[in-house]
Structure 1
Amino acid sequence: MTQTPTATPPARRGPQLPSLTTLGPLIALLLACIFFATQSDRFLTSQTLALVLKQISYVGVLAIGQTLVILTAGIDLSCGVIMALGGMVITKLAAEQGLPPVLAVLAGLAITTALGAVNGLLISRLRLPPFIATLGMYGIVFAATQIYSNAQTVSNLPPALNFLGSGFALGSATFSYGSVLMLLLFGVAWFFLTQTAPGRHVYALGNNPEAARLTGILTTRVLIGVYATAGLLYGVAALILVGRVGAGDPNAGQTENLESITAAVLGGTSLFGGRGNVLGTLLGAMIVGVFRVGLTLAGVNSVYQVLVTGILIILAVATDQLSRRKA
């Protein structure tokens, strides 16, 4: 009588270390802080932390929307100019048309959300590549902003629109309400992506759109929803920017698209979709902010900020490529 061989149970794995894409942004941020602390005795202070958070507040919110888009294997080049148009709509309606600030804000958010949804429709329905669709939207929205504003800034805003630019004292530092709102939105985005079914659908869509569709996920609806949500976040970023500068600027947002992509990539979000963590994006934005403030305190020419950022982007993308090849 032959004895049926029994399957050998799989070896139990010990606790695994976090991946390099998870640890990388945190390590880079810590090393940057240590380095700049040796260059300036004013760096490791609560006031510097408050300054970094204030500087990245509106770009950080843009980067949340950009991260959602990149997780679907897309990209949004129009985020900055959509933010600028939202800011102009809010400030012109409130300061020049006399509309109550709440209604002006709602109108601005509605327009940015609608423009984000149009991006989603172009990509999901017409099958346009995200790069081309959002590049075209960049030109359209930039021109529309200049026409709507007559290329003029809007000042003398109602006090309510300056609220997010004001702050509160915590110890010896003053933290802006815009920074607090940014951190809250990062927490909401993290919960959405990790703890809800729609959030998992975003990852599934980025990993394999066809497989996601075959499992019953309404991929077109998810894609439009992602771009519309990103548009809403661009409107919130506009509100933070208006509060910070105290005016509506039609020329804002022309380079913030690259800054938001930088924050997402430095934070470990894969440009190929399906992998990333919105909290990593926060670390990526912090890295950029730390380098800006640190180099300024060290008396280094601002052009080196661009140089260092470019090097960090290449390293982050190279790390992502290597990890994909190993996988």
Structure 2
Amino acid sequence: MTATTPAYAHLKDPTTVRRLLTAPTLGPLVALILACVFFSLSSEQFLSGGNFSLIVQQVMVVGTLAIGQTLIILTAGIDLSCGAVMAFGSIVMAKLAAEGSVPPLLAITLGLLVCAGFGLLNGLLVKGVPLPPFIVTLGMLNVAFALTHIYSEEQTISRLPSELTVLGDTFPLGNTDITYGSLVTIALFLLFAYALGATGWGRHVYALGNSPESARLNGIGTTRLTIGVYALAGLVYGIAALLLISRTGVGDPQAGQTDNLDSITAVVLGGTSLFGGRGTVLGTLLGVLIVGVFRNGLQLMGVASVYQTLITGILVILAVTVDQMSRRKVR
């Protein structure tokens, strides 16, 4: 850039402008800002620090699930079992720790391994047989759901040791109480944003989602990578299980029954393509916050929960429509 060239001249480059306008996170970011403006004008409580802390607490479990869901959708797969797997992992942790048969930290570890095992099995069935991800994870949803109720004996598990609930504790930040679990969720988003955006593994995940055959011809072990992504997603679901326990203080066999759909909603609203190969974890974070802001704002306005679900469904349809239209333009 010469001395006579304005510092903002690069913005006049049509290529630069096009990239800014077509960035997958731009739409979700604009939607989130507009939603915050609308609800701040509709309710005086919305902009309070306590309310924002509440929003983050309400979405941290689904947000963590959505990280694993993002990894799988980037490979052009989908996971309908994530909520049920999380629920089973939480029951394993809670029951082992409450009964005192193993130390609390070992109970947490076993719960994480159980969730990772479900993810590994999903990956093996998707890539080893192979079977469609939709069918595999739909079947695994029923397996995990049944095992949750069998192992828990339909009982909510309470009186848990503090090691399982510590992430639900809070610390003051100004006039707002922040939970440690919220920090864990944010840290996971940052970690996976880095892994996908700045490592060879992340580039391979995108390549796999764009074209499995091209990825294979370029020397990427697509089978091993796919299985690894599903197993890693399962481990993330295990972390979500621990966050769930820390938020509720119990092991609840009824938990997570709609969280699989909520996680997919967040991923789609965040700009990740259901066809794989395009999207970001930070976009998913925006999608999670959009869902949280809409539900919180509508609740503050006194809107019934059924209408909150209706609006969320409309947003998902619009997001998928935009994705389809953008794919056709690229072609």
Q: Does 1:318 align with 2:321?
A: yes
The match for 2:168 among 161, 165, 170 is: 165
> Which residue is 1:117 aligned to?
120
Offset of residue 161 of structure 1: 1.0
Distance 1:311 1:200 in 2: 32
Q: Does 1:206 align with 2:209?
A: yes
Q: Does 1:50 align with 2:53?
A: yes
Offset of residue 44 of structure 1: 0.8
Amino acid at match of 2:253: P
Distance 1:108 1:254 in 2: 18
Q: Does 1:15 align with 2:16?
A: yes
The question of whether the paired residues in 2 share the 8 Å contact of 1:168 and 1:176 is answered with yes
Q: Does 1:144 align with 2:152?
A: no
Give 3-state SS (helix, strand or coil) of 2:172's partner.
Answer: strand
Identical-residue share of aligned pairs (%): 59
Deviations 1:132-156 (A, max 9, x none): 0000001111111111111111000
> Which residue is 2:40 aligned to?
37
The match for 1:273 among 272, 276, 286 is: 276
Offset of residue 261 of structure 1: 0.2
Q: What's the TM-score, normalizing by structure 1?
A: 0.95
The question of whether the paired residues in 2 share the 8 Å contact of 1:267 and 1:281 is answered with yes
Distance 1:139 1:81 in 2: 8
1:150-299 mapped onto 2 (5 Å cutoff): 150-299=153-302
> Which residue is 1:70 aligned to?
73
Moved more, 96-105 or 316-325: 96-105
Deviations 1:77-104 (A, max 9, x none): 0000000010000011111134211101
Offset of residue 13 of structure 1: 5.8
Distance 2:93 2:24 in 1: 38
Please identify runs of 4+ aligned residues in structure 1 that moved more than 3 A: none
Give 3-state SS (helix, strand or coil) of 1:174's partner.
Answer: strand
Distance 2:16 2:28 in 1: 21
Amino acid at match of 1:157: L
Unpaired segments ≥5 residues, structure 2? 1-12
Distance 1:195 1:165 in 2: 31
122 and 14 in structure 1: CA distance in 2 versus 1, 3 angstrom threshold: closer
Amino acid at match of 2:186: L
Aligned residues: 316
Distance 1:156 1:317 in 2: 43
Offset of residue 254 of structure 1: 1.0
Distance 2:108 2:75 in 1: 28
Offset of residue 20 of structure 1: 5.3
Distance 2:290 2:14 in 1: 34
Q: Does 1:24 align with 2:27?
A: yes
Offset of residue 304 of structure 1: 1.2
Distance 2:158 2:176 in 1: 28
Deviations 1:45-87 (A, max 9, x none): 1111101100000110000000000000000000000000100
The question of whether the paired residues in 2 share the 8 Å contact of 1:62 and 1:237 is answered with yes
Deviations 1:154-209 (A, max 9, x none): 00000121111111111111111111100000000000001100111000000000
Distance 1:293 1:205 in 2: 37
Give 3-state SS (helix, strand or coil) of 1:15's partner.
Answer: helix
Amino acid at match of 1:244: R
Give 3-state SS (helix, strand or coil) of 2:24's partner.
Answer: helix
Offset of residue 22 of structure 1: 2.1
Deviations 1:288-323 (A, max 9, x none): 000111111111111111011001001100010010
Offset of residue 19 of structure 1: 1.2
The question of whether the paired residues in 2 share the 8 Å contact of 1:114 and 1:231 is answered with yes
Amino acid at match of 2:284: T
> Which residue is 1:305 aligned to?
308
> Which residue is 2:10 aligned to?
none
Distance 1:298 1:88 in 2: 35
